[in-house]
Amino acid sequence: MTDEIYVFAIMLLLPLSAGMLVAQTNPYHALIIRGILGAIAALVYALFGAADVALTEALVGTMLSITLYAVAVRSSMSLRLGVLEPEAMPLSAELTQALRQALQPAHLRLELLPYGDPTALQQALGEKEIHALCLPIPVSDRTDKRNYRLQTRTPRLQQLLNTESLQAIAHLDETLQHSESQP
Amino acid sequence: MNGILIAMIGALLLPIYEAWQDEDIWQKMLAFASIATKTSIMILVVSVLRDDWMIGVVGVLILSVGNAALMLLAHILRRLNEG
């Protein structure tokens, strides 16, 4: 066994990469580290003569699971923001930039869904089609420089969007759950 | 011949450190590509050392499949940054 001292060195790589995987907070980074873990696991299995297990780890454990998880993470980790049609309300680049910055710490993506009129937007928020909505404040109602108002469905999202750069552009309304609970 | 493998393990630690340290997702993908190729080459070296054809065939398959997985993941990540 002293001839195969490298076996122990390679085996130590497995808990090392597994520890790296557990330490990741960004889901996309974790997916890539999972690929690294799969490659090292396949090497360890092949080293011990389990060629079939190594092949399965590479095909299913690494290729299939990473692809499926990437699709799942991409479609689920997003904030659906309802807006009016671009002709009725052009979104300023400043606002989308501030929104993306606010969502960055939670690793969420911004997805814009255009709707025809404000009533349809409110209805979509009530029916849980969208997570938040963004409406322009009419020029006559403006009290300060803020041109938009944002309403979220849950208090947690409002907490997430409560950043300085976003507060400067948009007014954050009460969440839907709050206004429903009040008499 | 063990020296070769020990040197390869040492070389494998470099991209692992890079993947752990770098926050840029494409740098992580590069490290993943490096590790996937290095591990399958190591499987091929072990198969030659032990004169075991079964491990050799698996090494070749993992070498080609690892690149396919990388391409799939890279496409999804690229579309993520665009959308």
Residue of B47, B40, B46 whose CA lies nearest to B61: B40
> Does A47 contact chain B (CB < 8 Å)?
yes
- Considering chain A, what is the average pLDDT of its residues? 84
> Does A112 contact chain B (CB < 8 Å)?
no
**Distant-in-sequence, close-in-space partners of A45: CB < 8 Å, separation ≥ 6:** A51, A53, A54, A57
Q: What is the rounded distance in angstroms from the CA atom of residue A40 to the CA atom of residue A12? A: 10
Side-by-side strand order, sheet with A109-115: A109-115, A78-84, A132-136, A148-152, A170-172
Segment A40-55, tens digit of pLDDT? 999 999 988 899 999 9
- Top residue of A3, A6, A73 to mutate, by most chain B CBs within 10 Å, is A6
CB A123 within 8 A of CB A113: no
Segment A90-149, tens digit of pLDDT? 777 788 888 888 888 888 888 888 888 888 888 888 888 888 888 888 777 777 777 788
Residue of A43, A21, A19, A50 whose CA lies nearest to A34: A21
Give CATH for domain A78-181: 3.40.190
> Does B57 contact chain A (CB < 8 Å)?
yes
- Top residue of A32, A40, A66 to mutate, by most chain B CBs within 10 Å, is A32
Of residues A5, A40, A66, nearest to B69 (C-beta): A66
Indicate the length of chain A as a whole number: 183
Give the whole-number percent of chain B exceeding pLDDT 90: 51
What are the distances in angstroms from CA B14 to CA A5, A162, B7, B17, B43?
A: 20, 41, 11, 5, 18
Segment B12-67, tens digit of pLDDT? 999 999 999 888 889 999 999 999 999 999 999 999 988 989 999 999 999 988 78
DSSP string, B10-71: HHHHHHHHHHHH---HHHHHHHHHHHHHHHHHHHHHHHHHHT-HHHHHHHHHHHHHHHHHHH
> Does B48 contact chain A (CB < 8 Å)?
no
Is residue A86 very low, low, confident or very high in pLDDT (cuts 50, 70, 90)? confident
Cα nearest neighbour of B38 on chain A: A39
Q: How many distinct structural domains can be found in chain B?
A: 1
The upper half-sphere exposure of residue A50, i.e. CA atoms within 13 Å in the direction of its Cβ, equals 11
Boundaries of domain holding B40? 2-82
pLDDT for position A179:
53
> Does A53 contact chain B (CB < 8 Å)?
no
DSSP letter at A89 equals -
Rounded to two decimals, the ipTM of the complex is 0.92
